[in-house]
Amino acid sequence: MEHAAPIDESADVPATPPTAPAAVRRTLADLTPPIALGPLDGRYRSAVAPLVDHLSEAALNRERVHVEVEWLIHLTSHHVVPGAPTLSTEERQYLRDVVTTFDDATIAELAATERVTAHDVKAVEYLLKQRLAAAPQTLGADTVLPQVGELVHFACTSEDVNNLAYALMVQGGVRQVWLPAAHALVDDIAAMARANAAVPMLARTHGQPATPTTLGKELAVLAHRLRRQLRRVEGAEYLGKINGATGTYGAHLAAVPGADWVRVSRTFVEHLGLTWNPLTTQIESHDWQAELYADMARFNRVLHNLATDVWTYISMGYFAQVRGQGTVGSSTMPHKVNPIRFENAEANLELSSALLDTLGATLVTSRLQRDLTDSTTQRNIGPAVGHSLLAIDNVRRGLAGLDVDAAAMARDLDANWEVLGEAVQSAMRAAGVAGVPGMDNPYERLKDLTRGRRITGDDLRTFVGGLGLPDDVAARLAAMTPATYTGVAAQLVDYLD
């Protein structure tokens, strides 16, 4: 009988790949339109798009143009430099139109100039000088704008322009985009708190059943905390300076010794809607930014607390995710609706807070009179605020998809009568102080009754009935249930108003 030859399984797989031309993947970086490297400019663009108008690189250049234009108008309007002509209303408007018409063509023009200058602020200076030179084509040959070209960026270091531009950018992004979104979210939470002010809920301290509260009161706590942080953000100062290469007005006085440059600086910064900083090195110290970002990060962390609490309530069945949930919950388990909005918010709040913390820690330090660490750092303000804005959007969407399941909360309360042990032992203490006999060791006696085991309403009422409490106290405790043991939780929600 012949034996079959052993099977050589390795023979089915070539030891080396067959010789063939290597497959060449297309380079994604070369595709048009450009593919975003980060999710804020890709997957989540729609949620953060309003920030582009304030915290993008293009917005930075537009604000630089804005500062340069206003500085030129300020110098000429206040006759700071002797011999400089006064600009007409039409000429001032022509200059300001460079800012209001800032578009993709201007962005491309600046980029082309910067490739030559290798300096971003210098590119802005050259752009504005080109617009001045071209003014006769629009305003006529008698315009004086070509004569004031050398007043563009007059006596300025780049940081004079940059610090003001960033202050305007951050002010706009926070006040016009982030704060309205954050207020809308807190208003949503406050509305939920009011609607559920009297809905009883078992509290949990250290994860264990504890004195009952109401859902509304717990939401109100978070709304109150968030509003407090928003008030701090609303009160933020946005500082600026324009005082030269080391903050001494050296070039200013060398060029025009007769001008009151300190007054000129202050009035200009305040004209922009910023707070003047009188004492700086080459850079504005950025302390205001660190203060602002600390408050925004604290808001993030309170909101993170809300997201994790709501996630937990969902897992306990206190909330049902039923409204607006047309999406796939789980790729394999059709019964599931995952709390993805709150999980997404958690992650983005952590990213935002980490970036805000880094910004605050880095920006307050500059070696001696100047180093450039702030230049790269400040270019990440947009992502820091963007991740927070995205989280705010996700929490709002998540909350809008929730229904409160009061019945689930009621079942949980009814299964935990032992939480009334606190009420009984407190009443015993008060009765003992009032001279009622037999009220000794109330805590220990309730501990023996309740710790480590479940009790029923009947168990508790039997215990209370044998204590010898005054009739009115005994009746009050006998009528109490976990669902009614909520103190003034419902009324506390009114403090939101």
Peptide bond into 6 cis (omega under 30): no
pLDDT in tens, 415-449: 999 999 999 989 999 999 999 998 899 889 888 88
Q: Domain residues for 470?
A: 417-481
* Catalytic annotation, residues: 206, 330
Percent of the chain at pLDDT > 70 equals: 93
pTM of the model: 0.90
Question: Exposed, middle or buried by CB within 10 Å (0-12, 13-18, 19+), for 142?
Answer: exposed
Inside any domain, residue 42: no
Number of domains in the chain: 3
Closest CA to 211 of 429, 479, 419: 419
Same domain, 398 and 434: no
Mark which of 407, 429, 455 sits at the end of a domain: 407
E-strand stretches of 207-274: 208-214, 239-240
Contact 241, 265 (CB under 8 A): yes
Q: Are strands 275-276 and 239-240 parallel, antiparallel or unpaired?
A: parallel
User: Binning pLDDT at 50, 70 and 90, where does residue 26 land?
Assistant: confident
Most confident of 38-47, 91-100, 329-338, 373-382: 91-100
Tell me, what CATH number does 439's domain have? 1.10.40.30
| Cα–Cα distance, 307 to 325 (Å, whole number) | 18
Tell me, what CATH number does 255's domain have? 1.20.200.10
Query: Token digits for 449?
Result: 């009754």
Mark which of 151, 176, 204 sits at the end of a domain: 151
Same domain, 305 and 203: yes
Contact 129, 69 (CB under 8 A): no
pLDDT in tens, 125-183: 999 999 999 999 999 999 999 999 999 999 999 999 999 999 999 999 999 999 999 99
